[in-house]
């Protein structure tokens, strides 16, 4: 049995579908379907069961879960709203829930891969997993960094695999439920269809209009990286999950325009309220991931956006 928390969410649902494609159907999806629209992400997937995350949390905290049947846990459930400033809520869902599940996994020697985030780096100039490079700009990034710090203290004593993946800017199918937190590629596609234009931020942080940069990773590549660790159970630690490239929002917008063969870019003033909490340039350092042996190939924005828009506009 494989448990996928956040299994009806963005990365989680794509992981479930890929597990099915690889012949695994004994998958238990854990999620919060208060927003029932998310059902569509797992519609058509073959799963063994569905559990509400609160029921799942209560069960493993009391050791009432049938852990002897669990082969692996992918913990992708979290509050991913980076603009959420309710720190008590964020630390409960993103830190305490994850910490307790990792403790459960270590206690019962169940391999676990959990979702960390590139948000731990904030405005750092370095994006390696070395302690000291983290400088989160919001409580979301702080909550993820706290989990990573907890895991770093547990690694030497854990007899089973514990992996934290610092996902960079993931985009691709099954993110429509995320609303404002959906990828820029999703929003630009919508904008172009509605108005014939795509909107990007103007100059900020010493960068020209649209030249703010991100490490954009296509969701299939992120999923393949996540599943790579299932075949390498001796590998534990905290790793970046990005492409190792820094590509501009202009490049991403041009990929959208090229796919549609129409449209233009409109630049809007950079919001003043984001000035102190905005990452202007991210690029995953893949040294540790490659040293571990991970050989997943990562698509460029041009290739990934084209594949995504084929799916999104089908």
> Tens-of-pLDDT digits for all 314 residues of the chain?
999 999 999 999 999 999 999 999 999 999 999 999 999 999 999 999 999 999 999 998 888 766 568 999 999 999 999 889 999 999 999 999 999 999 999 999 999 999 999 999 998 889 999 888 999 999 999 999 999 999 999 999 999 999 999 999 999 999 999 999 999 999 999 999 999 999 999 999 999 999 999 999 999 999 999 999 999 999 999 999 999 999 999 999 999 999 999 999 999 999 998 888 888 899 999 999 999 999 999 999 999 999 999 999 99
DSSP state of 93: I
* Residue 178 is among the residues annotated as catalytic for this protein: yes
Domain CATH for 140: 3.40.50.720
- Together in a domain, 103 and 224: yes
Q: Choosing from 97, 121, 140, 308, which is the catalytic residue?
A: 140
- Together in a domain, 153 and 34: yes
- Together in a domain, 116 and 163: yes
In terms of residue numbers, what domain contains 256? 171-213+246-281+303-312
- Together in a domain, 63 and 88: yes
User: What pLDDT does residue 68 have?
Assistant: 66
- Together in a domain, 94 and 110: yes
Q: Choosing from 178, 197, 267, 278, which is the catalytic residue?
A: 178
- The CA distance from 119 to 285, in Å, is 14
pTM above the 0.75 mark?
A: yes
- Together in a domain, 233 and 271: no
- Together in a domain, 186 and 134: no
- Together in a domain, 51 and 133: yes
User: What pLDDT does residue 274 have?
Assistant: 86
State whether residue 105 is helix, strand or coil: helix
- What are the backbone dihedrals phi and psi of residue 219, each rounded to the nearest 5 degrees, phi first? -60, -35
- Together in a domain, 73 and 44: yes
- The CA distance from 245 to 6, in Å, is 27
Which among 121, 126, 123, 280 has a CA at the least distance from the CA of 203?
A: 280
* Residue 62 is among the residues annotated as catalytic for this protein: no
- The CA distance from 290 to 313, in Å, is 34
Give the count of domains, the chain. 2
- Together in a domain, 102 and 27: yes
């Amino acid at each position: 049995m494989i448990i996928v928390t956040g299994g009806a969410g963005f990365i989680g649902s794509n992981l479930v579908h890929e597990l099915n494609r690889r012949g695994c159907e004994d998958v238990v999806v854990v999620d919060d379907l208060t927003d029932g629209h998310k059902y569509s992400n797992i519609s058509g997937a073959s799963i063994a069961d569905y559990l509400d995350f609160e029921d799942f949390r209560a069960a493993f905290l009391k050791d009432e879960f049938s852990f002897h049947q669990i082969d692996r846990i992918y913990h992708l459930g979290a509050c991913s709203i980076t603009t959420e400033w309710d720190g008590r809520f964020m630390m409960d869902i993103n830190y305490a829930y994850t910490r307790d599940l990792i403790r459960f996994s270590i206690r019962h020697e169940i391999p676990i891969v959990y979702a960390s985030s590139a948000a731990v780096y904030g405005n750092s100039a370095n994006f390696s997993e070395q302690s000291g490079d983290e400088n989160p700009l919001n409580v979301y990034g702080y909550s993820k960094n706290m989990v990573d710090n907890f895991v770093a203290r547990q690694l030497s004593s854990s007899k089973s695999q514990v992996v934290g993946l610092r996902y960079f800017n993931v985009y691709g199918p099954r993110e429509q439920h995320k609303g404002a937190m959906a990828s820029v590629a999703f929003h630009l596609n919508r904008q172009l269809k509605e108005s014939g234009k795509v909107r990007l931020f103007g100059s900020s942080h010493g960068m020209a209009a649209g030249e703010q940069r991100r490490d954009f990773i296509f969701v299939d590549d992120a999923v393949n990286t996540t599943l790579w660790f299932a075949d390498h159970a001796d590998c534990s630690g905290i790793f970046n999950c990005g492409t190792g490239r820094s590509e501009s929002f202009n490049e991403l917008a041009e990929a959208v325009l090229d796919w549609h063969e129409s449209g233009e870019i409109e630049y809007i003033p950079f919001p003043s309220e984001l000035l102190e909490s905005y990452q202007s340039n991210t690029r995953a350092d893949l040294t540790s991931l490659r040293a571990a042996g991970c050989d997943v190939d990562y698509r460029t924005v041009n290739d990934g956006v084209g594949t995504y828009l084929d799916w999104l506009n089908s």
